């Protein structure tokens, strides 16, 4: 630390003289400044992690979804993965108390692509210090939601984007936080699929005449 003070005093002394061009920091002073910056960053991170319940802000993030292929005219399921920060939980889609806000996913689909129901997993029954006598239905850790989609047969094959929001209310062991919304975006690849086989009317009539001949 004494070397750092000497280098710092030397830098201040140099900067007090008028100069016509920028002065370069000595390698030793630059190394000391870099070490001090790293120490400050690590200290801030440690303080943020050690904050008591009720002081940290909750966070829910979405993992990048993979693009699935769905044949037009047929249904498909898109799995969306979300991660809830450690130490927090969010209400399930069916909370046990009407005063708690459920987790919901709202989506806007492209034209001629139908969004079916969203598949929510059952919540985990847990109790917390702010309601020790009551079991709450919550999600923790990794949350996977399934979205049913069905492109109409008139959809042109290609990639289509879906946009929406995940609305949730997060809590920790000390308090619940105001509801938040997380943007949700994903793609599906609509495929044409195999063409349906057409019946030959001529063959059908000949087959009927053949069957009548056998029966007679």
Identify the burial level of 82 via C-beta atoms within 10 angstroms of its C-beta, where 0-12 means exposed, 13-18 middle and 19 or more buried.
buried
* Confidence (pLDDT) at 212: 58
- For residues 129 and 186, membership in a common domain is answered with yes
Q: For residue 197, give both structure tokens.
A: 């086989």
pLDDT at 39: 41
Is residue 61 scored above 90 in pLDDT? Answer: yes
111 and 34 together in one domain:
no
Q: Does the pLDDT value for residue 196 go beyond 60?
A: no
Q: Which helix (H) or strand (E) holds 12?
A: helix 2-16
Q: What SS3 state is found at 48?
A: helix
Statement to judge: residues 70 and 144 lie in one domain: yes
122 lies in which domain range?
60-191
Q: What is the percent of the chain where pLDDT is above 90?
A: 50
Residue 43 lies in a domain: yes
- Quick check: is 160 in a domain? yes
Q: Which two tokens stand for residue 137?
A: 């239905």
Domain count of the fold of the chain:
2
* Co-location of 77 and 44 in the same domain: no
Q: How far apart are CA 183 and CA 85, in angstroms?
A: 17
Are residues 160 and 99 part of one domain? yes
Instruction: Decide if 187 is inside a domain.
Output: yes
Q: Are residues 88 and 29 in the same domain?
A: no
Q: Number of helices (H) and strands (E) in the chain: give both, helices first.
A: 3, 12
* Cα angle for residues 149, 118, 104 (degrees, 5° grid): 135
* 8 and 92 in a common domain: no
pLDDT at 12: 41
pLDDT of residue 24: 57
- Contact between 148 and 162 under an 8 Å Cβ cutoff? The reply is no
Whether the predicted pLDDT of 15 surpasses 80: no
Do 30 and 116 fall into the same domain? Answer: no
Candidates 189, 199, 105, 196; CA nearest to 144 is 105
Kindly state whether residue 212 falls inside one of the protein's structural domains.
no
Residue 197 lies in a domain: no
| Confidence band for 129, pLDDT divided at 50, 70 and 90 | confident
Q: Are residues 28 and 68 in the same domain?
A: no
Assess if residue 54 is contained within a domain.
no
Residue 126 scores a pLDDT above 70:
yes
Q: Are 75 and 31 found together in one domain?
A: no
Is residue 36 located within the same domain as residue 68?
Answer: no
In a domain, 198, yes or no: no
Q: Do 181 and 113 belong together in one domain?
A: yes
Q: Is the pLDDT of residue 99 over 50?
A: yes
pLDDT of 79 over the 50 cut: yes
pLDDT at 168: 96
Condensed to tens digits (0 to 9), the pLDDT of residues 164-178 reads: 999 999 988 888 899
CATH label of the domain that carries residue 154: 2.60.40.1250
Within a domain: residue 202? no
**pLDDT for 203:** 53
What distance in Å separates the CA atoms of residue 14 and residue 19, rounded to the nearest whole number? 9
- Total residues found in the chain within this entry: 216
- Please provide the average confidence, as pLDDT, over all residues in the chain: 77
d(CA 34, CA 28): 10
Read off the pTM.
Answer: 0.64
High-pLDDT (> 70) share of the chain, %:
63
């Amino acid at each position: 630390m004494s070397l750092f003070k000497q280098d710092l005093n030397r830098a201040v002394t140099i900067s007090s003289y008028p100069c016509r061009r920028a002065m370069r920091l000595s390698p030793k002073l630059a190394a000391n400044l870099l070490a001090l910056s790293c120490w400050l960053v690590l200290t801030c991170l440690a303080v943020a992690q050690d904050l008591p319940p009720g002081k940290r802000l909750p966070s829910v993030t979405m993992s990048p979804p993979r693009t699935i292929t769905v044949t037009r005219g047929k249904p498909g399921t898109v799995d969306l993965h979300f991660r809830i920060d450690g130490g927090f939980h969010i209400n399930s889609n069916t909370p046990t108390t009407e005063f708690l806000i459920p987790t919901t996913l709202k989506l806007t689909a492209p034209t001629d692509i139908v969004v079916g129901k969203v598949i929510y997993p059952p919540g985990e029954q847990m109790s917390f210090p702010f309601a020790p006598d009551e079991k709450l239905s919550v999600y923790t850790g990794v949350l996977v939601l399934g979205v049913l989609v069905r492109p109409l047969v008139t959809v042109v094959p290609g990639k289509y984007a879906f946009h929406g929001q995940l609305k949730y209310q997060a809590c920790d062991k000390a308090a619940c936080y105001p509801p938040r919304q997380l943007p949700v975006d994903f793609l599906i690849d609509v495929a044409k699929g195999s063409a349906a086989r057409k019946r030959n009317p001529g063959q059908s009539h000949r087959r009927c005449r053949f069957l009548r001949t056998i029966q007679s």
